[in-house]
Amino acid sequence: MPALRVWLLLLLLSPALAAAEALRLVADPWPPFNDQTLPGKGLASDLVEQALKRAGYTTSYAEVPWERAVRGLKRGDYDVLINAWYSLERTEYGYYSQPYLVNRIRFLQRKGSRIRFETLADLYPYTIAVIRGYAYSKEFDSDPYLLKVGVGSFEIAARMLHAGRVQLTLEDELVARHILAGTLSPLRDELEFLPQPLSENGLHILVRRSHPRYREIARRFDAAIQAMSDDGSYAATLQRHTP
């Protein structure tokens, strides 16, 4: 009887024991990667939530400005920052997963302009619309010979490019495609990407180091992303979110 009672008790407790741990996710608005108004809350949010569900976690999601998201991760208000590029500074308070997406920063020109880009020196003759406060790459940002025109948004930069007021602009490829498929659809066929990207940055989740199982969360996430790649669900998710 005692053994039977123990077995029954374990049976009753098993749902609680098996209940998925809840993780509080946070991201800053960055369409098409993170945006509560988009299907699946955007490509990055969709991939991360799918992977963490496969890894055995339940999730809640908050979308706040970047500085608030980082501050909240440090304080323990959130467990996982969804959309982080690698920086050494962030490893002091966060633990990185393997990259699950790649952000490619690419130049755009007016179609048929025939601008060649292999090194930054190739771009010295041209004016380039850049978003104020945006970090593109260390080399690009610090090059004193590039003729940069600061603007408030990619939409403004693309319109200036189309009007011939600048010869180039640049943006993350998926962000640019998203905007050109939406608010700037009349310009979509008038602009084109240069073949070579300026930079490529892996996109990671960043798990707060103050979480008692931060390494395990990242490890299980990485394994789930690999499983999604193997069974085709990763590619299907990417296709759903790509114009």
Contact (CB, 8 A) for 173 and 193: yes
Closest CA to 34 of 24, 49, 44: 44
Q: Retrieve residue 194's tokens.
A: 């240069």
- For 41, the 3-state DSSP assignment is helix
The model's confidence at residue 39, banded by pLDDT at 50, 70 and 90, is very high
User: How many percent of the chain have pLDDT more than 70?
Assistant: 91
pLDDT tens readout for residues 175-190: 999 999 999 999 999 9
Closest CA to 137 of 116, 162, 107: 107
pLDDT tens readout for residues 70-92: 999 999 999 999 999 998 999 99
Mean pLDDT of the chain: 91
The average pLDDT across 201-224 equals: 97
Q: Give me the pLDDT at residue 12, please.
A: 42
Q: Give me the pLDDT at residue 134, please.
A: 82
Ramachandran sector of residue 162 (left: φ over 0; alpha: ψ -120 to 50; beta: rest): alpha
pLDDT tens readout for residues 26-35: 999 999 999 9
The average pLDDT across 197-217 equals: 96
Q: Give me the pLDDT at residue 19, please.
A: 55
Contact (CB, 8 A) for 84 and 94: yes
Compute CA distances 30 → 37, 40, 86, 212, 229, whole Å.
11, 13, 17, 29, 24
Residue with the bigger pLDDT between 237 and 10: it is 237
| Class of residue 156 by CB neighbours under 10 A (exposed 0-12, middle 13-18, buried 19+) | middle
